[in-house]
Amino acid sequence: MKKKLLSMMLATALVTTSFVACGGGTDTAATGGDTAGTDAAAEEEAPVELIGTSEDPNTLTVTAWDENFNIPALEAAAAAYKKENPDFKLEIQTVSGSTDVEQAVTLAGSSNDFSQLPDIVLFQDHYIQNYVANYPDAWQDLEGAGIDWSDFGAEKLSYSTIDGKHYGAPVDNGTCVFAYRIDILEQAGYTIDDVTGITWERWLEIARDVKDKTGYALLSMDHSGDDLPYMMLQAEGQSQWKDGKPNLVGNDTFKQIIEVIVEGANDGTILLANGWTEYTDNTIKGDQVAGVFNGNWIIPTIEANDAASGKWEITTIPTLSGKEGYASNGGSSLYITGNCEKVELAQAFLAYTFGGGAGAMETYDNALRNGGVITTCVSASKSDVYSEGVAFFNDQPIYTTVVEYGTHVPTIEQNDYHYTLRTSVGNLITNVQNGADIDAEIENAQSEVEFAMED
């Protein structure tokens, strides 16, 4: 099983696409700020050597990625905890992406030698359960840390809670938003209320009308790492997985979602970009779309278009039934490794900051200011910083809204082959767009994933 995990990780890394988002997948940063992209040439390089631990009893070491997102959050936490413990130091090692951490843990676990791991690592949510299952000695749990877990969104914690034990301290919030250009909607005769709590069928009608009257599409997505089906299905309270197997064939909800995407793509109301750069620079920053649906880590990309300041607002997700939908896309948490000998210090640091303790509000206020990191800790979002209206979003208090949305995100089954399935579903969409039979393509996609999952 360990050999299989190593081969799966290396194979995934080979097909990684660069993708800036909120915490990161191996073949995409499906959450805030993971630039985990790589290629075959990069894969030939030697594994990154992690920082290890420090002999200083007041110093903790941590490895993380993204100097513009996760690193400012860690710096904010270190500054906050230093007020509680003046002798405390946090040594931060910045690596290029989540793959560096995953590979280091895999190699350490395969040799049963964790001595080169730091005290704490940032680890992506989608993969942690498999790594804990395969390398249990690589991790130390957070039981006894004094964290009030009821203060966090249940969906976020579902990744890092394993066999009833909490292992990870959440960092970012992957909760999705659907943002709209309210000025473009107004030109077509609509308001934000008209696209809130509606069916996807009605959304397509509005999208076609907006397109006809303004020339703007109402949504775009990076089709090289297409997260639309996953997010839309989660908003319905469903997973692409059931009992550890792909849940595509015979899943009428999944089929209807694919039909919505294909219909929108074919009539030009949903733009499926050929890559991350085209998605962000050409469609969002390039002023081609009047709607953006993704994890909230997409907000800085929306804000990069200064000319659109004050013209955006956020709301919930359409669903097949018309109820307001909630989903999450991406994220990561902090984990204490098996090499940490200062477990009490590590637990105290994480509990005081990211764990909702006395320093959580200061930590997350500065993480938001300096890195755009939004918490999933409800109490930490009660600050004035979170409650302020955001001028770019027509003075909506979007940060408290995102945290509130996060409390409604359904907890669904996850799987370590998340990205494998995403690739197959993306191909499915392309083939159906080109006239292929949808039922046959769903069967093909399921077969592809099942084959990839075989030992």
Q: Do domains 2-174+330-382 and 176-327+413-453 have the same CATH topology?
A: yes
Backbone angles phi, psi at 122, to 5 degrees: -85, 130
Q: What is the pLDDT along the chain (455 residues), one digit of tens a residue?
A: 444 454 444 444 433 333 334 444 333 333 344 433 333 333 446 788 999 999 999 999 999 999 989 999 999 999 999 999 999 999 999 998 899 999 999 999 999 999 999 999 999 998 898 899 999 999 999 999 999 999 999 999 999 999 999 999 999 999 999 999 999 999 999 999 999 999 999 999 999 999 999 999 999 999 998 999 999 999 999 999 999 999 999 999 999 999 999 999 999 999 999 998 999 988 888 889 999 999 998 998 899 899 999 999 999 999 999 999 999 998 899 999 999 999 999 999 999 999 999 999 999 999 999 988 999 999 999 999 999 999 999 999 999 999 999 999 999 998 888 989 999 999 999 999 999 999 999 999 999 999 999 96
Rounded CA-CA distance 296/170 in Å is: 15
**Domain limits, the chain:** 2-174+330-382, 176-327+413-453
pLDDT at 194: 98
The architecture that CATH gives domain 176-327+413-453 is: 3-Layer(aba) Sandwich (3.40)
DSSP secondary structure string for all residues of 267-332: HTSEEEESSHHIIIIIIITTT-BSEEEEEGGGHHHHHT-GGGTT-EEEE-B-BSSSS-B--B---E
Q: With left for phi above 0 and alpha for psi between -120 and 50, is residue 78 left, alpha or beta?
A: alpha
* Among candidate residues 225, 208, 227, the one with its CA nearest the CA of residue 270: 208
**3.40.109.10, 1.10.10.10, 2.60.40.10, 3.40.190.10: which CATH number matches 2-174+330-382?**
3.40.190.10
- Amino acid of residue 147: I
pLDDT at 20: 38
| 240-243-246-252 Cα dihedral, nearest 10 degrees | -60
pLDDT at 430: 97
